[in-house]
A and B are shown apart, each in its own frame.
Chain A
């Protein structure tokens, strides 16, 4: 019990942050016309590609002689970048079609 409480206490800023971010997420797309659901889903998809930052950190932290980690890390960087670049480009392509002529 005390462990849980101390965990909450040491991470309280993080917990505040998370709760507020959840509400921001809901608020930000609260009033979306249904025509934009697909591009929005695709755009959100690109944003969670931020996980690639984690992959880069892992790569920088890892020991340069640990080939297993380097390989896994490189694959992670490739996949994360795919998510980011592919996500933003495809969203841009979709939204390009909405522009007024």
Chain B
């Protein structure tokens, strides 16, 4: 009887996952969708604790129940507090960290199920696959976390890292195949395999540059989904299967969409990198000179404009200038200037990250305009203010086939009457390449830390 109720609980949970994900693709219903999926998850977890039965499982030892509830309580408290406390700019790191935890959970399940599966090759394959994928996802996510955190900013590349990685990957497969085929029950071999999988996860992420981290996190996200699905296959557990596969396939699609937004193939993210091609672009001739602009001039220019478009980049978030930029927007609107934000698909560190950051400082959702839409409006724009963005407005993406970002869709800010670029210094952007936009006769450089420069600008505007 309890078994049937549990099956129904799993069915309900699976449906909430599908409906939740579906609703999350609509801005108005997204929050509700997330809560529905969370409710389904709660049903699945509580149902498993109280209703799970299996031949031979007669009693629920109090020690086990204490440990399970203790574990859930500890995880809930830590997870809740971290998720509530983290700054929105740090969010990609956090997602990466949570993903790693899920991977580690799958890996531990694999470690524990190993001895129950000796002698059953097909079960063993499932156990080891979940364990290996979970481990790779775990160690890879930790490296991605460190990279986004800045603790490991530079990609570390061993000579011939592609060949080494490929060899290690095949060695890992061969090792796993040996463990399955030999029917061994050796714990030593199991832990060696576990260590090898962790090591491969590190090797996999370490050569990839920080700019590509969102793609990597999304990919690792789908890996963890896959690991969860193997767990579902192992236990013939439908809710783990649905959840795991949904995330596995949706995550893979999301990874590909992200790659497309940056005009990179998944292959080149994993096997190639900006660093290796950037050298070729160094030779690009820089013609023209740079023009400085003072705070007063920027204020005057904006005050007498009709239409202003702000192009925010990650630099804005790093400088914590999203609140002051909203203040600037309100001030200009008060004076009859129409202000919009142009959001490049990869602005920030993840697609949509910039929207979250701006929304945090109460910027109206309707004012954030996506690239395709805003590109048609630049011709009627008086002033474009680029804050902390670089590669997403680099014309080389259109004009210079040798550029590593060639082909990436960019914001056509050049069509506007005036372009003001706020930057701390003349250093290159994330992709490490020169930006010809800065040498455009219509461009004025407004140097300074984004927060300070914008605060000064707002103060100046108020006096007018």
B residues near A (Cβ < 8 Å) are 13, 17-18, 20-22, 24-27, 30-31, 33-35, 37-38, 41, 44-45, 48-49, 52, 54, 57, 60-61, 63-64, 67-68, 70-72, 74-76, 78-80, 82-84, 86, 88, 91-92, 94-95, 97-99, 101-102, 104-106, 108-109, 111-113, 122, 134, 217-218, 221, 224-225, 227-229, 231-251, 253-254, 257-258, 261, 343, 345, 348, 350-353, 355-356, 359-360, 362, 364-365, 368, 370
Contact = CB atoms under 8 A, between A and B. Distances in A.
Contacts of B13: 50
Given A24-B18, A54-B228, A90 B68 contact: no
Contact of A76 (B74, B109, B229): B109
Nearest to B249: A25
Contacts of B122: 7
B44 A50 contact: yes
Contact of A35 (B82, B91, B257, B370): B370
Interface string A12-37: 00100110011111101111111111
A39 B106 CA distance: 23
A53 B356 CA distance: 31
B95 A51 contact: no
Contacts, number: 358
A101 to B, nearest CB: 7
A80 B102 contact: yes
Contacts of A5: none
A39 B22 CA distance: 12
B41 A36 contact: no
A88 B83 CA distance: 9
B250 A60 contact: no
B254 A58 contact: no
A36 B106 CA distance: 27
Contacts of B234: 54
Given A38-B350, A49-B41, A28 B105 contact: no
Interface of A: 7, 14, 17-18, 21-26, 28-62, 64, 69-70, 72-101
B253 A87 contact: no
B52 A57 contact: yes
Nearest to A84: B41
A55 B370 contact: no
Most B CB contacts (10 A, CB to CB) among A17, A24, A32, A75 go to A32
Contacts of B242: 21
A80 B37 contact: no
Nearest to B355: A35
A45 B362 contact: no
A100 B365 contact: yes
A43 to B, nearest CB: 5
Nearest to B59: A64
A83 B102 contact: yes
Given A28-B250, A35-B368, A36-B24, A55 B350 contact: no
Contact of A60 (B57, B82, B356): B57
Given A28-B250, A41-B254, A98 B351 contact: no
A59 to B, nearest CB: 5
A43 B34 contact: yes
A94 B360 CA distance: 8
A85 B80 contact: yes
20 contacts: A17-B238, A28-B25, A28-B250, A34-B351, A39-B34, A41-B350, A45-B98, A50-B17, A50-B243, A51-B106, A51-B244, A52-B45, A53-B231, A56-B52, A57-B48, A79-B104, A81-B74, A85-B79, A90-B94, A98-B359
A98 B71 contact: no
A14 B75 CA distance: 31
Nearest to A23: B249
A41 B25 CA distance: 11
A25 B75 contact: no
Given A79-B105, A90-B91, A101-B364, A47 B25 contact: no
Contacts of A77: 67-68, 71-72, 75, 105
